[in-house]
Chains A and B, each alone.
Chain A
C-alpha cells in the first residue's frame, strides 16, 4: 500500500458536478506535477469508495482526463499517468469557451465581494504555482 499521496477533495453540495470536481482536482495535481508520469492512480472502484460516489462518476472523470492525454486507461491495469506531449494551441472556439468560463468565475468573485485587485493577485499567484 502506497501511503501519503496527494489528496483530492470534492464538495457534494457544490453546484459543480462531482465528476468535474474530480477532473479539476486531479488536473491541478497533474499540472502542478504533484503526480508524475508513471504514477498509478487509484482504481475507479477504490476512489469511488473513498469519495462515496458512484463508480460511473469516477469512471467519467478518468475518461475525460484520458481524453485530455493525461491518463492511460487499460483494462485490468487501472489508470496510469502518462507523459503528455505539448498540447496543441487552443482553437479560437476553445479559447472563447475558456474566456466565458473565466468571465463567469470572475463575475461570481466580484459578486461575492472580492475586489478586482484581489482577483488579479489571486490569478497571478495561481499562475506562479501552475507555471
Chain B
C-alpha cells in the first residue's frame, strides 16, 4: 500500500505539472480557450490569471498529497481517485480562468491584421513533455498486445470500497484496451479546450466576406439554355442568365437574394438583392466554403 501511495504521489505531481503547463499548450493568440491576443499572457492581467490558475492547481495537489501520504490505510480505489484531484482541480481552475480572461477577449473587429512572417506554431519547445500521458497508454497497449497470453482470462473490472474486486470481465480486446484509452480521454479533452477554438465563431462569417449562411441552391438549368452571355463554365445546376448586355446579365425570372454565383470553384456573377442584376466574370466575391466544384453553384445570402 505504501508503494502504491508513493506511485500515486508521483502520478499526482506529474499530472499537476502537466496541468500547470496547459495554458502554454495552445497558440499564442489563445489563452485559456479565449482569443485574447499574443500579448495578453505577458500582461499583468494575464500573469495574474495564470498565477491564480497555478495556485489553484497547486492547492489541489497539496490536498491530494496530504491525503495520500497523511492518511493511512486508504483503499486503493480511494487513493487512485485522490491522485486525480489535481486534474479535477485544474479543470475547475481552467473554467474559472476562462471566465477571467473572457472580458479581455479581442473584439471581433471586422478589420483584421496579420503579420506575414513565418514563425513557429506558438508552442514552447517543451511541449513534448505533454506527450507521455498520451504515449504511455499506447506503449502499455502495445506491451499488452505483445504479452497477450500472460493476461489472465478473467480481469477485475471493478473494485469495492474495500479494494477487493467485485466485478470481473473476460479477456477481450475491448476489455483490455478500452481502459487505457478512456483513462486519458480527460487529458485529451482539456488539451482540446486549451488549444481548440482557434477558428471558433468565425466559420459562419469569414469564409465569405459578405455572407452569413447559405441559401438554397439555384434552380435547374433552363431547358432552352438561354443566353449564357459571358458567364463561362457554368455548372450544371446554375440557372442560366436570361440575357446579357455589356458585361451584365439578368438571371431568368427569379431574383435570388444573393451576391454571388459560383461553380467549378469560380465566381461567375454577383449582384444585389434588389434588382437581381448581376455583373459577370470574376466578380471577386464569395469564399471557398460555398464551392461544390463542377457540380453546382450556390447563392450566398447578402448581409444588408
Contact = CB atoms under 8 A, between A and B. Distances in A.
A64 to B, nearest CB: 10
Interface in B126-150: none
- Size class of the contact patch on chain B: 35 or more
Contacts, number: 155
Interface in A30-62: 35, 39-43, 45-57, 59-60
Interface in A1-47: 1-21, 26, 29, 35, 39-43, 45-47
Interface stretch (B56-64, B65-73, B82-90, B277-285): B277-285
B284 A101 contact: yes
- Size class of the contact patch on chain A: 35 or more
A21 B209 contact: yes
B267 to A, nearest CB: 8
A47 B114 contact: yes
A3 B112 contact: no
B11 interface: no
Given A15-B259, A56-B288, A40 B118 contact: yes
Contact of B35 (A43, A52, A56, A78): A52
A2 B207 contact: no
A104 interface: yes
A125 interface: no
B222 interface: no
B39 interface: no
Contacts of A8: 113-114, 116
Contact of B117 (A3, A12, A51, A104): A3
